[in-house]
């Protein structure tokens, strides 16, 4: 993931963003043949696990942008906080789910992240 700041005309208009960088993805479709059911299923489980890593980062950016839009603040400091929090949460997520192998924990994380996503909206100006 790549975190960055989108600069607005005024400091109060600065926002954070997160992007997925496929060049840093270590799973390649060509390594999994769709007719190998076991390999394909593992690939799909891994994809679902990795997508939650991205959603965690998106959630943190969304929460940060909400705070910036309501309270203002320093976008650069917020970016550093988001990066550190993302690292900590993603490490915890991997530990809790055993990198997606613990299906119950995986589903629990998915549910929690999606619930939190629904709770945070960024007001429009």
Q: What is the rounded CA–CA span in Å between residue 2 and residue 109?
A: 22
pLDDT at 125 over 60: no
**Domain contains 48:** yes
Sign of CA dihedral 75, 81, 86, 89: negative
**pLDDT at residue 26, as a whole number:** 61
**Domain contains 101:** yes
**Domain contains 39:** yes
**pLDDT at residue 20, as a whole number:** 84
**pLDDT at residue 81, as a whole number:** 97
* Count of structural domains, the chain: 1
- Pairing state of beta strands 15-19 and 2-6? antiparallel
Span 75-94, average pLDDT: 96
Tell which wins on pLDDT, 22 or 88.
88
* pLDDT tens per residue across span 8-22: 777 667 889 998 877
**Domain contains 125:** no
**Domain contains 113:** yes
Instruction: Give the predicted TM-score (pTM) of the model.
Output: 0.84
Query: Closest by alpha carbon to 106, among 45, 43, 58?
Result: 45
Query: Would you mind telling me the total number of residues written for the chain in this entry?
Result: 125
pLDDT at 123 over 60: no
Domain containing 68 equals 2-119
| Distances from the Cα of 69 to the Cα of 64, 74, 90, angstroms | 9, 11, 25
Span 1-14, average pLDDT: 79
**Domain contains 81:** yes
**pLDDT at residue 83, as a whole number:** 96
**Domain contains 10:** yes
Q: What is the rounded CA–CA span in Å between residue 102 and residue 34?
A: 23
**Domain contains 124:** no
């Amino acid at each position: 993931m790549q975190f960055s700041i989108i600069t607005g005309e005024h400091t109060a208009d600065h926002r954070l963003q997160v992007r997925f960088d496929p060049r840093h993805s270590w799973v390649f479709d060509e390594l999994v043949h769709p007719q190998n059911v076991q390999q394909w299923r593992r690939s799909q489980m891994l994809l679902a696990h990795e997508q939650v890593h991205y959603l965690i980062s998106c959630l943190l950016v969304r929460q940060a942008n909400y705070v910036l839009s309501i309270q203002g603040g320093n976008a650069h400091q917020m970016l550093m906080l988001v990066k550190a929090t993302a690292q900590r949460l993603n490490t915890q997520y991997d530990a809790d789910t055993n990198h997606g192998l613990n299906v119950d924990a995986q589903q629990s994380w998915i549910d929690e992240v999606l619930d939190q996503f629904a709770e945070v909206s960024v007001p429009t100006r």
